[in-house]
């Protein structure tokens, strides 16, 4: 039986395991389960190569309380930092396994079921991030356009193309900047006038690109439907003045869905759409913790926030359950 089982090998999950090692827990008693083939899947897949991973993110002050901490780093520097943390702490990560059930046992331990194995652990920490899967539009996307519609900018190289980016958050801005750097003719469609979901730096960036004529922004634009003509997506807007427009491809940046059903199936109590958390990130199920983006709220948090939540959760775990040594 493991002392600590962590679901998710992103920044929160990795830092949770590192905090456990610092507290004196042997690496053989810690396991991380990751559904992807590599750690930090969200950073690898959804962050453009040129995106700066910032320490101060969406109002979260860049203070660190635990073992891990980053300053402003590039995407690759962040991945390398986490690579080093895994290696130096001799951490065991099981890849390509998806957790589908967590069962509380009579002895207050848990049995965790994946499609390949069953694991038993004293404590379970869920660190799966806020985006279970990318949000998709509510209108139908023709199957013939499956190779012309994307939900990130890393799955397929897009160059010298007429591209429509749909969304109004930070990812939408960063996708536009990345695509323009790669020589694309980019248009951004957002259903509102003001970009309130976007941080100040990204707002300034797209407004400057618009001013320079490198980016066209369709404010207050709503897509009614999508059709195909000559192998290209044709976008039909609800607004008559926009009519229909043809693009080489479309990139959706609509955020992602919180894995709410999975958490509710574990008997975790919710306050509206958010899971209830007790002191130091423990859920209403004893011995079951929730850290990282899912504990930060709908807007998510910084990587340092994930690191800090792991540190705070580990203090609680040591004091209440595993009786390990950790600085308070």
Over residues 165-206, the pLDDT tens digits come to 999 988 899 899 889 988 999 999 999 999 988 888 889 999
d(CA 84, CA 17): 13
What burial class does residue 128 get, using C-beta atoms within 10 Å of its C-beta: 0-12 exposed, 13-18 middle, 19+ buried? buried
Band of the pLDDT at 54, cuts 50, 70, 90?
low
d(CA 187, CA 195): 15
CATH 3.50.50.60 domain residues, the chain: 2-133+256-322, 143-252
CATH number for the domain formed by residue range(s) 2-133+256-322: 3.50.50.60
SS3 assignment, position 219:
coil
Q: Which pLDDT score is estimated for 244?
A: 92
d(CA 130, CA 114): 20
Residues 6+ away with beta carbon under 8 Å from 274: 297, 298
The pTM of the full predicted model, rounded to 2 decimals, is 0.70
Lowest mean pLDDT among 82-96, 97-111, 205-219: 97-111
Q: Which CATH class is domain 143-252?
A: alpha beta
SS3 assignment, position 129:
coil
């Amino acid at each position: 039986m493991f002392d600590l089982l962590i679901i998710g090998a992103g920044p929160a999950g990795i830092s949770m395991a590192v905090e456990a090692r610092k507290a004196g827990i042997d690496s053989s008693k810690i396991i991380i389960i990751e559904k992807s083939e590599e750690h930090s899947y969200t950073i690898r897949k959804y962050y453009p190569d040129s995106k700066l991973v910032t320490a101060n993110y969406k109002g979260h002050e860049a203070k660190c309380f635990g073992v891990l901490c980053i300053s402003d780093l590039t995407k690759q520097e962040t991945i390398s930092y986490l690579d080093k943390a895994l290696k130096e702490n001799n951490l065991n990560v099981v890849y390509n396994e998806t957790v589908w059930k967590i069962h509380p046992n009579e002895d207050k331990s848990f049995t965790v079921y994946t499609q390949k194995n069953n694991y038993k652990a004293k404590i379970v920490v869920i660190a799966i991030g806020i985006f279970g899967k990318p949000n998709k539009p509510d209108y139908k996307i023709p199957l013939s356009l499956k190779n012309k519609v994307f939900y990130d900018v890393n799955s397929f190289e897009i160059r010298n193309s007429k591209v429509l980016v749909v969304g109004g958050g930070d990812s939408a801005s960063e996708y536009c900047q990345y695509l323009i750097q790669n020589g694309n003719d980019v248009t951004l469609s957002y259903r509102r006038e003001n970009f309130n979901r976007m941080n100040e730096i990204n707002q300034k960036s797209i407004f400057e690109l618009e001013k320079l004529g490198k980016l066209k922004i369709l404010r207050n634009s709503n897509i009614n439907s999508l059709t195909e003509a000559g192998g290209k997506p044709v976008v039909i807007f609800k607004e008559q003045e926009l009519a229909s427009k043809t693009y080489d491809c479309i990139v959706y940046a609509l955020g992602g869905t919180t894995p709410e059903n999975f958490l509710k199936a574990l008997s975790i109590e919710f306050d509206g759409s958010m899971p209830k958390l007790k002191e130091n990130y423990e859920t209403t199920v004893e011995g079951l913790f929730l850290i990282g983006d899912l504990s930060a709220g709908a807007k998510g948090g910084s990587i340092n926030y994930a690191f800090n939540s792991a540190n705070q959760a580990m203090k609680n775990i040591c004091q209440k359950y595993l009786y390990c040594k950790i600085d308070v």
